[in-house]
Structure 1
Amino acid sequence: MTMRYASYISPAGARTWGVVEGDTVYDLGPSGLNLAANLGDAVRGGVFGNVQSEQYSSAPAAAEAEITFLPPVTEPGKIICIGVNYRSHQEETGKVEQKAPTVFTRFADTQMGHLAPALMPASTTQYDYEGEMALVISKDAWHVSKEDAFDYVAGYGAYNDFSVRDWQRNASQWIPGKNFPGTGAFGPYLVPASDIEDLDSMVLETRVNGEVRQKAALGDLYFSIPELIEYVTGFTKLSAGDVIVTGTPGGVGLFMEPSGLLSDGDVVEVEVSGLGVLRNTVQRCE
């Protein structure tokens, strides 16, 4: 059985985390069984992925519809994002045959959870979506080989790297266009890596107002997950709870004709096989 973990605000207003089974969330955090202070600490302490049903079934429960989702890992030390990492996206951007991954950083305080608004800043006319799959690191990682890389993955979740394209394209560095508040959607769940049987066959699909814009198998990644982990840990030390966002397929709004860029009120969904549907509605900021 695939286990789904979530971070959330309970109906009583407590920030916590737990296991989602069906339409019910079982509280494993400070307001429940108190197995760890948050989901990041559960990863760091080896609790994540190791909670049995006979244990969580006795936890305080709430209906999933009554909680407010947070990003699964609310305070990662590092968020490392990978650009143009599907051939289809390389072709539409003209950035083909890369020799090394394109890497940029996202700040933790720019993230939001499932169903939170995707904040479109007043200073942009080019707000875009990027459906992706993210992974969370399970333990300290430094100079990890490709062969050992999967030993360092705690779990996987859906991600939407909303992008402020005009700010992103002002210069060669992408960081400004990737770090406005409320633009890094993560969730709704974090699924243990041990529960994923065939990662490459999983399909990522992004929809805008129900229209399919992006669709690709994770096996189509240009740089594979082991290659990404080897490369990233070759230049920076990663810790348990850190996040790598693995890249987006072709079909982003910027390169569509006519333009597929986002507007106030658009509903964007990112669905990854077995990881759930991440849904956010665009909200224009004044």
Structure 2
Amino acid sequence: MKLVSYRLINEEPPLRVGIVLENDDIVDAQQVYEIYQQMESQSKLETLLPSDPTTFFKQGLPLIEKVKEAYGYAKDNRLEKVKRYERREVYLGPVIPAPSKIICVGRNYVEHAQEMKSEIPEYPVLFAKFANSLIGADDAIEKTSFTDKLDYEVELTVVIGKEAAKVKREDALDYIAGYTIGNDVSARDLQKRTPQWLQGKTVDRSTPIGPWIVTPDEVGDPGKLDITCYVNGEVRQSSNTEKFIFDIPYLIEFISHLITLNPGDIIMTGTPDGVAFGMETPKFLQDGDIVRLEISKIGHMENRVKQAD
């Protein structure tokens, strides 16, 4: 199942939770759930499904499983009663607009560490982003005038589905609600001017995450996914998540022994080589550039760069 954060193009916020159909049409998750409960001949709704994406994902895996059950039932019976929206009719926002934590992993591919002239890390390199940086699949990456070195970083992104504290590696995948695509856009000149990376990593409206969250049953092994980034049609990054230094089960075990993870938290798992900063003649992002990210089993996301000020 694919879940999105959406609103109709001609409507104002708030965003709502939607389900993506096989032809990329979108139906409202709350409406699907209501029809399912009515079909089950219940006199009133047991639970009103939250329409707000952040609230929805903070409910975690039990709620996602209910929606999956409702969608499966509706798809086999009365999905024609649910209003469908074509992709062109909707705006897709950040899949979780206000997660409580966005934890990022640096230098998680050997070739990327080498191009950044860094040592291969012995432990995961962790840093944070904040919700102010998040945008969706239909938003522009805003390039502030404070940076001349804006860089792209395609990353497999994990959404946590239940509270995770001191998780064992062999159990780690059971804590995942789904996967999405992230672009860890980095202002390298801001990132590198101090020992701490934060100021270059969480600039307002710079980090696309989307276009949807895909549940684990549709993704399979997250350690065997092709991952690619194009800028203006040129391949810049091309790799596979099998090249992780620290795979996803290890990351969840490692992080959860330091920080309790909650439903709706996001982990960005690191980027492969090919970033602009690692080039002999860097090709940093400019106003009007188109960045397209692709990860197998998930899909693609495309954002334009826009000069913000």
Q: Name the TM tier (shorter chain).
A: over 0.9
Aligned partner of residue 6 in structure 1, secondary structure? strand
Q: Is the 8 A contact 2:108 2:246 kept in 1?
A: yes
| Deviation of the 1:60 alpha carbon | 2.4
2:29 maps to which residue?
A: 28
2:45 maps to which residue?
A: none
Q: Is the 8 A contact 2:137 2:303 kept in 1?
A: yes
CA deviation digits over 1:37-57, x for unaligned, max 9?
333433325232524233362
Segments of structure 1 that go 5 or more residues without pairing to the other structure are none
Matched, 1:78 2:94: no
CA deviation digits over 1:186-218, x for unaligned, max 9?
000100012222322210100000101001111
> For residues 121 and 94 of structure 2, what CA distance do their matches in structure 1 show?
31
Q: Give matches, 1:1-286, under 5 Å.
A: 3-13=1-11, 14-21=14-21, 22-29=23-30, 33=34, 35-43=49-57, 44-45=59-60, 46-49=62-65, 50=68, 51-55=70-74, 57=79, 58-286=81-309
Amino acid at match of 2:279: M
Q: Is the 8 A contact 1:164 1:178 kept in 2?
A: yes
> For residues 151 and 54 of structure 1, what CA distance do their matches in structure 2 show?
24
> For residues 209 and 63 of structure 1, what CA distance do their matches in structure 2 show?
26
| Deviation of the 1:169 alpha carbon | 0.4
Q: Is the 8 A contact 1:30 1:36 kept in 2?
A: no
Aligned partner of residue 63 in structure 2, secondary structure? coil
Bigger share in helix:
2
Number of corresponding residues: 284
Q: Is the 8 A contact 2:222 2:248 kept in 1?
A: no
Q: Is the 8 A contact 2:219 2:298 kept in 1?
A: no
Call closer, same or farther: CA 1:197–1:264 in 2, change over 3 Å.
same
> For residues 96 and 164 of structure 1, what CA distance do their matches in structure 2 show?
21
2:43 maps to which residue?
A: none
| Deviation of the 1:29 alpha carbon | 3.8
> For residues 52 and 31 of structure 2, what CA distance do their matches in structure 1 show?
8
Q: Is the 8 A contact 2:103 2:266 kept in 1?
A: yes
CA deviation digits over 1:44-97, x for unaligned, max 9?
252325242333623322111111111111111100000111111011012233
The alignment-based identity, stated in percent, is 33
Aligned partner of residue 81 in structure 1, secondary structure? strand
Q: Is the 8 A contact 2:143 2:150 kept in 1?
A: yes
Q: TM-score, normalised by structure 1?
A: 0.94
Amino acid at match of 1:28: A
> For residues 75 and 259 of structure 1, what CA distance do their matches in structure 2 show?
33
| Structure 1 vs Structure 2 CA RMSD | 1.8
Aligned partner of residue 200 in structure 1, secondary structure? coil
Call closer, same or farther: CA 1:11–1:32 in 2, change over 3 Å.
farther
